[in-house]
């Protein structure tokens, strides 16, 4: 994977910032949703949808496409925003989030929206689904890869650890797992509710290749993916240290924004901050 130029990184940052704006508008219009984790994952989703994934939005069922599984489905606004910008459906449709009859449900539904590989909602299930896909590709000697995004909070689920064990035992080198390590969940800090550390060592014990990065650093994201793609004997987990609510100062690192929609005044304040960030990026 070629090293990014400053111009390319700036363009990716502008795209991520635009996706964050979509998230704020979507959740505010719906009056419900999960902005904290969605904003924190904007950089990773930008990297995946606009540089990494082998995909064709015009042929979402292309057999050789890479598979992306979003296990923490409640942060789907950021995935929807990335998909719309990538050309899977019109950007205007984003404002139908959580409306009756919409394709953009509060958790992704596979049969409603082309380009969504699995229905997600029950936390802890995404890695199990990803293991099935990766193992099938391994048996078929297929070239496509499986990427899975999970939250740190869903490590509380036993099914997730069964899947960690399976992937390590089967040496699923075509599987890359991204852990959104934002240190919050629904009602408080992860380390208060159910301590996860030493998280990296736990994955190593299950025979995973473990990488720890700043989840907002595009160079680090792409370097980690390149390492994962070149690792031939085991699955790779990338522990992404992220800031929940990234880009909106009053939302950052506040677990109360895990599942709370902004009101009209908060929406305006958030969009103002994001507009200022975009202006700074554009002026560099």
Question: For residue 257, what is the DSSP state?
Answer: G
Q: Judge if pTM exceeds 0.95.
A: yes
Fold of 6-283: Rossmann fold (3.40.50)
Cis peptide before 272 (omega within 30 of 0): no
Whether 263 has a pLDDT exceeding 80, the answer reads yes
Q: What is the pLDDT of residue 1?
A: 65
Across all residues in the chain, what is the average pLDDT? 97
Is the CA virtual torsion 21, 24, 27, 30 positive or negative?
A: negative
CB distance 19 to 272 below 8 Å: no
Residue % of the chain over a pLDDT of 90: 97
Residue % of the chain over a pLDDT of 70: 99
Whether 284 has a pLDDT exceeding 90, the answer reads no
- For residue 5, how far is the Cα from the chain centroid? 24
The ranges assigned to domains in the chain are 6-283
pLDDT tens profile 195-248: 999 999 999 999 999 999 999 999 999 999 999 999 999 999 999 999 999 999
User: 181: which strand partners?
Assistant: 241
pLDDT tens profile 113-137: 999 999 987 899 999 999 999 999 9
Whether 140 has a pLDDT exceeding 80, the answer reads yes
DSSP string, 21-84: HHHHHHHHHHT---HHHHHHTHHHHHHIIIII----TTSTT-TTPPEEEESSGGGHHHHHHHHH
pLDDT tens profile 25-83: 999 999 999 999 999 999 999 999 999 999 999 999 999 999 999 999 999 999 999 99
Q: What is the pLDDT of residue 2?
A: 67
């Amino acid at each position: 994977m070629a090293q990014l130029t400053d111009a390319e990184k700036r363009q990716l940052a502008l795209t991520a910032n635009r996706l964050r704006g979509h998230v704020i508008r979507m959740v505010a219009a719906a009056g419900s949703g999960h902005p904290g984790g969605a904003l924190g994952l904007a950089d990773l989703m930008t990297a995946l949808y606009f540089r990494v994934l082998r995909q064709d939005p015009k042929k979402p069922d292309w057999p050789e496409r890479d598979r992306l599984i979003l296990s923490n489905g409640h942060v789907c606004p950021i995935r929807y925003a990335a998909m719309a910008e990538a050309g899977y459906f019109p950007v205007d449709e984003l404002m139908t989030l959580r409306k009756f009859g919409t394709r953009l449900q509060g958790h992704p539904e596979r049969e409603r929206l082309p380009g969504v590989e699995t229905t997600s909602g029950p936390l802890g299930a995404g890695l199990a689904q990803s293991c099935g896909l990766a193992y099938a590709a391994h048996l078929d000697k297929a070239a496509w890869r499986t990427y899975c995004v999970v939250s740190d909070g869903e490590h509380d689920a036993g099914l997730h650890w069964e899947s960690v064990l399976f992937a390590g035992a089967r040496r699923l080198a075509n599987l890359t797992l991204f852990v959104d390590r934002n240190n919050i969940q629904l009602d408080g800090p992860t380390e208060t509710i159910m301590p996860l550390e030493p998280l990296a060592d736990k994955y190593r014990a299950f025979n995973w290749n473990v990488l720890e990065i700043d989840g907002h650093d595009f160079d680090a994201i792409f370097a980690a993916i390149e390492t994962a793609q070149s690792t031939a004997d085991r699955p790779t987990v990338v522990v992404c240290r992220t800031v929940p609510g990234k880009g909106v100062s009053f939302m950052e690192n506040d677990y109360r924004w895990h599942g709370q929609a902004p009101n009209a005044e908060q929406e305006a304040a958030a969009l103002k901050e994001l507009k200022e960030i975009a202006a700074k990026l554009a002026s560099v």
